[in-house]
Chains A and B, each alone.
Chain A
Amino acid sequence: MADDKRASFEREALIHLDALYRVARRLTGNEADADDLVQETMLKAYRAWDQYERGTNAKAWLVTILRNAFINEYRRRSRHPETVDVDTLEPYAVFPDVQDEDPQGTFFDRIVDDEVLKAIDELPEAFREAVVLSDVEGMSYQEIARILKVPVGTVKSRLFRGRQALQGKLYRYAVEQGYIKGSVA
């Protein structure tokens, strides 16, 4: 029995370790807390493995455990802003600005991983988690809505605003670096 449990946990849960780490890293904002949060998530998940319905969505189940642990135990010491301050979000329609100069957005190719991760980390939490679950982990609106416990319409609007804000940040960075001339103020 124990071997069965271990084998199925390895097959269905442990394969999501990298994904869980990426989500944890963006939620906590630092490596040490991300490590602890992922470890705790895996221990909780293993203890609760009998309650998990085999063959359903293990990744979403694990992310839900991770997020609950984050909210209960880590959020207060995360270096990110805790509340959704919608005024701090500046959605920016980039395409009209670059339409003539670089409509295919090739300037983005010059932006390195760390700058993109930093820009995501600067998004308010509600937008950051929607963007990470969708754009990095490829989850559906329905899955994200269940994990975040919000309606699908809220997921859509957070994704729209979060993506536009992220795009605006990276565009401004590209202009500063001289990757594109741009017309940003």
Chain B
Amino acid sequence: MNCGECVEHLYEFLDRELTPELEREVRAHIAECTPCDEQFDFEEMFLKFVRARCQTQGAPPELKRRILRELFGE
């Protein structure tokens, strides 16, 4: 696997959507290729960052109460 093929699978790899065989090939490539390894780390960090920033938002307590009232008459 060369760098171009490896980067093509970048997101599928990070999203754990590759077949086990392709995943092994990607792992083998980034273990030996520093630029690809750095790029994968960068993208992985970015996805974690987005999730962390967005996960803090949840349903407002008043909405939860409103829904429980509507559903169960409480």
Taking Cβ atoms with an 8 Å cutoff, the residues of A that contact B are 6, 9, 14, 17-18, 20-22, 25, 31, 35, 38-39, 42-43, 46, 95, 98-99, 103-105, 108-109, 111-113, 116-117, 120, 131-132, 134-136, 138, 140-141, 156, 159-160, 163, 166-167
Contacts and interface: CB of A to CB of B under 8 A. Distances in A.
B8 to A, nearest CB: 10
Contact of B59 (A17, A132, A160): A17
Nearest to B69: A39
Contact of B67 (A38, A135, A160): A38
Contacts, number: 101
Interface residues of B, number: 31
Contact of B56 (A14, A43, A113, A160): A113
A35 B61 CA distance: 11
Contact of A17 (B46, B47, B64): B64
Contacts of A134: 15
Given A95-B39, A141-B15, A163-B11, A39 B67 contact: yes
A114 B70 CA distance: 31
Contact of B11 (A6, A99, A132, A159): A159
Contacts of B15: 134, 140-141, 159
A105 B45 contact: yes
B59 to A, nearest CB: 4
